[in-house]
Amino acid sequence: MSKTKLSNLYKLEDWWTVWIGLLLLASVFSGWVKVVPKMPKWKGGDIAAALPIELIPGLILLAIALCALFTFGNIVMEGRRGRAMIPGFFGIFLLATLAYILGNSQVAKAINLGYAFWALAIGLLISNTVGTPKWLIPAVRTEYYIKTGLVILGAEILFSRIVEFGPYGLAIAWGVTPIVVIFMYLFGTRILKMQQKTLVMIVATSTSVCGVSAAIAAAAACRAKKDELTLAVGMTLIFTVIMMIAMPLFVQAVNMNELVGGAWLGGTIDATGAVVAAGEALGDVAGKTAALVKMIQNMLIGAIAFGIAIFWVTSVEKKPGAPTPTLNELWVRFRDILPH
């Protein structure tokens, strides 16, 4: 492995989320951490029950420990300026605690407004009224936190859970996904007559697999232009936000089974973080089911990107009479998908 690759391994955010998540899991499995504060359910105006005094020391220790881990990773990735996230992290921790308190009230539980809904509501309220404070901005690392949480959540989703999910669940994640990619590409190029085939492929992949990550992989595989990738990512993010809010409301409105609703969210919403947030808004079962479907679906990123590279080299870009592309060309395309 080259020095560049080694540099990426300790400076990429994706890897730090894995290391932090595994470290947190190891601290629990080893018995070093025996108790993690859990916000209780509470009724009406019983504010004292919403945040018992005995929980406060544990929450403070948890905030300090998490801040130390995330800040250390941030310093390695960004240098000294990474320390700027410390005050903002504690501010976000307080807001997250508030979201949990509101989500655990009897009224909120009765109408399925969990902590994910309140976190979204608080964030929208702040950003659209007073605006995000400057001291808080360095700590607003959404992907950093969500990806770490997904590593921890993944510990609950063992292979046995995947087997229990059954062939229908695997069909949703592995069978339907490539079919949707192919259908969207053919629809865009043959029915809509779109000339930018690379743009069509990026949009098809990002909306069928896992949003931005899939868009970047597809763009590398078909050598798309930067402005096409930017447009596709923007479209994906817009629809992700809309679906993250609208789909759980629709599931509740039609009284859909929580398990089925979670699977639908996981297979339809693009971004993994948005899938978890939308699933948790419906309940614990829907949250875990949605995350499971999306994680299984995410496994296809490499395979689909490699398939796109083969299709692009052998069909889309091949000129009449030109020699058959070599395996080296396929390797170059696939290598571009990997982090540099």
The pLDDT tens digits for 321-340 are 666 666 666 566 555 554 44
Q: Is the dihedral of CA 296, 334, 147, 236 positive or negative?
A: negative
Integer Cα distance of 277 and 291 in angstroms: 9
SS3 sequence of 66-110 = HHHHHHHHHHHHHHHHHHHHHHHHHHHHHHHHHHHHHHCEHHHHH
Based on the fold, state whether residues 139 and 180 are members of the same structural domain: no
Based on the fold, state whether residues 197 and 58 are members of the same structural domain: no
Based on the fold, state whether residues 167 and 278 are members of the same structural domain: yes
Based on the fold, state whether residues 182 and 304 are members of the same structural domain: yes
- φ, ψ of residue 30 to 5 degrees: the values are -80, -10
> Which of 131-135, 283-287, 323-327 has the least mean pLDDT?
323-327
pLDDT in tens, 15-30: 888 889 889 888 887 8
| Domain end (from 127, 154, 181) | 154
Structural domain for 129, as ranges = 3-154
DSSP 156: T
| Domain end (from 133, 154, 175) | 154
Examine the pLDDT at 173 and tell me if it is beyond 70: no
Residue 85 and residue 70 in contact, taking contact as beta carbons nearer than 8 Å: yes
Based on the fold, state whether residues 142 and 183 are members of the same structural domain: no
Residue 200 and residue 219 in contact, taking contact as beta carbons nearer than 8 Å: no
Amino acid identity, residue 315? S
| Domain end (from 88, 119, 154) | 154
Kindly give the interhelix angle for 327-337 and 301-311, rounded to the nearest 10 degrees.
Answer: 140
Provide the 3-class DSSP secondary structure of residue 42. Answer: strand
Based on the fold, state whether residues 328 and 293 are members of the same structural domain: yes
Domains in the chain: how many in total? 2
Based on the fold, state whether residues 37 and 184 are members of the same structural domain: no
Stated as kind and residue range, the H or E segment containing 180 is: helix 176-186
